[in-house]
Amino acid sequence: MRAESSMPGHADVRLLRPLLDVRRADIESYAQAHVLVPREDASNADITYTRNRIRHVMLPLLASFNTQIVPALVRLADNAAVESDFIESALDGVLDTGIAQFAETRVTIERRALCALAPALARRLIVRAAAHLAPSDDSGITVTHERVLAAVEQARDGDNGAMLDMGHGLHLHITHTRIIMQK
């Protein structure tokens, strides 16, 4: 989760999370010191939701092994966000070369050019193609990591005519010179 991002499925809506880096205990102390009564969404305590189970069960367990687990995870998330931004920017530069054509129901990628890309860029290109063609689920994911890896593998080693079901109604077709993803 980032401090600022687009709402999944609504790129024109910006989500701002100004207190994302502030610990809950610090917010509760501030509220108490200023006689504020925060509103608590009852669903935040429901551990049937994965996010809450991680927060209420897994993080305390991990903290019992490493008291610095939360700051370590914050650093990891920050590094991942910075690197993701870099990869997205690099991919924009690659796409400026014309190796892929994005249409309403199809994305066509030059096979040799995709195979020449660094693995991070090849994977991200497959993800971007899928996101262009199909809506993401609630987690913001369009296709699974396994299908992205399979798509890159098929691009590198697949036979002419190979097909791959990418999920979400998307199919990948390999030709001698092209990779075609379509609805």
User: What's the pLDDT score for residue 136?
Assistant: 65
pLDDT at 138 over 60: no
Confidence of residue 137 (pLDDT cuts 50, 70, 90): low
User: What's the pLDDT score for residue 22?
Assistant: 83
Question: Boundaries of CATH 3.30.465.60 in the chain?
Answer: 97-182
Q: What is the mean pLDDT of the chain?
A: 91
pLDDT at 139 over 60: no
Least confident span in 16-25, 93-102, 169-178: 16-25
Region 9-29: mean pLDDT is 85
User: What's the pLDDT score for residue 25?
Assistant: 85
User: What's the pLDDT score for residue 91?
Assistant: 97
Counting every residue, how long is the chain?
183
Instruction: Say whether pTM exceeds 0.85.
Output: no
Least confident span in 25-29, 90-94, 99-103: 25-29
Cβ distance 155 to 111 under 8 Å? yes
pLDDT at 141 over 70: no
Percent of the chain past pLDDT 90, that is, above it, reads 68
Q: Which fold has domain 97-182?
A: 3.30.465
